[in-house]
Amino acid sequence: MHNPNGNLRLCRTVALGLVLLLAPEKADAEPFVFKDQELSFQLLRVIGATASGGADVGECLVAARNTKPGSDESWYEAWHKKADELDGQAKAFLAAGHRQSAREAFFRACNYYRNAEFFLHADPHDPRILKTARRSRDAFLQAARLSETPIRPVRIPFEGTTLPGYLCLDGSGQKKPLLLAQTGFDGTGEELYFQIARFANERGYHCLIFEGPGQGMALREQNLLFRPNWETVVTPVVDFALKQPEVEGNKIALIGYSMGGYLAPRAAAFEPRISALIADGGVFNFHASTVADLGPNVEAILDDPQQAKVLDKDILAAMPKNTKARWFFNDGMWKFGAKTPSALLRKTRPYNLKECADKIGCPTLIIDGELDTLIPGQAKKLFSVLKCPKDYHLFTAEEGAGSHCQVGAWLLSSEVILNWLDRTFACSNDRSE
């Protein structure tokens, strides 16, 4: 017999599980400066770019000190202020003829503007989102013009429009292997320069960064939303790459970070011109990771309109007091075109590799993190079903690199990734060891 009260209790149990899953205690690293684990993670993320010129530790700690935990506005104000300061300094340096100092300051301003905008997504129509994202891009372009190696902004033809990106060359003027780099759920193309492109260039690789639907300016300026069939995104990117005279066409690698650990493998399953694949971290079933620990009845609850409404009510009630829940659902509903939290969870269902992981044919590196609780177990699941030549690498807490996407340890991360790519492509790069 149908028991509506039982259904409501079950729904509230699932909602509670979801909130607990996103609670500050559920984190992939020890707290850093902030007790709030989401703020701590995002702070470590921006500081990690110090290794590649996208941050300076003291500046980041000042911005953190001026942030009031629980206030997304104070985060925006603190980081935007610091970015404005660096942008002004960079322009003064440039006017005085100090080109290197100007470049360095513009790069840091770019990353601080990116970080300032991060928690604004409760209202996707907030004009500060696009304005701040453009400030981040403009600062990056200013730095790119001053770079010692070419960083070319590009527009990649895509379904009647274009996707934004950067072609970052190693400066040799020669044909070299190419690394295609893409982010995932919440990164930007500019951030990828600090995360991997600069290191790749130093190793003698060219790197083509691109933003697809749901990401960066493709979302903010064109309102292109996420899609599960990511091969429709990557194939035009490969078409574009092969037209570039600097690209060695038989050595094109693809790396995807975070949710990109699903997107990139999905594309590689259908794009045979990808000759090496890196998933950092690997994601076999993005939907499963999103609803993990919510019990066996969560799918039925999501499909029951009455129970879904109760779930939405409980999630929305918890969000004001929970930074991670507030950010994840506001950000996700925007990028997936969902009007409610339960609708967002339903929209993630097609994002899995069950039907195509075995079609990946190129050598593949699957990366995992010992402390990664955002996509726990997903890397091993993906690795286990691959039939291609494959390697698995676990970053550990003892190394200081066990967090999601190795935040705070991008030097070590890039060393592992690019050493693997050197071996895979049997490269004899002059700049490698």
- Alpha carbons 276 and 42: distance in angstroms, whole number: 30
Which residue's structure tokens are 């955002």?
374
- DSSP assignment letter at 196: I
Q: How would you classify the pairing of strands 364-369 and 247-257?
A: unpaired
CA dihedral sign, ordered 137, 139, 143, 145: positive
Q: Which of 258, 275, 403, 413 is catalytic?
A: 258
Alpha carbon separation from 380 to 195, 262, 327, 391, 403 (Å, rounded): 23, 13, 27, 11, 16
Alpha carbon separation from 164 to 47, 189, 208, 283 (Å, rounded): 25, 8, 11, 25
Work out the angle at residue 61's Cα, subtended by the Cα atoms of residues 114 and 66, and round it to the nearest 5 degrees.
80
Q: Which amino acid does the sequence have at 414?
A: S
Q: List the beta bridge partners of residue 194.
A: none
Alpha carbon separation from 361 to 148, 208, 238, 270 (Å, rounded): 37, 22, 16, 9
Catalytic status, residue 147: no
Angle between helices 4-21 and 305-318 (to 10 degrees): 40
- Which residues lie closer than 8 Å to 388 by C-beta, 6 or more apart? 360, 361, 362, 363, 364
Q: List the beta bridge partners of residue 209.
A: 166, 181
Take residue 204 and report the two structure tokens written for it: 């003698």
Catalytic residues: 258
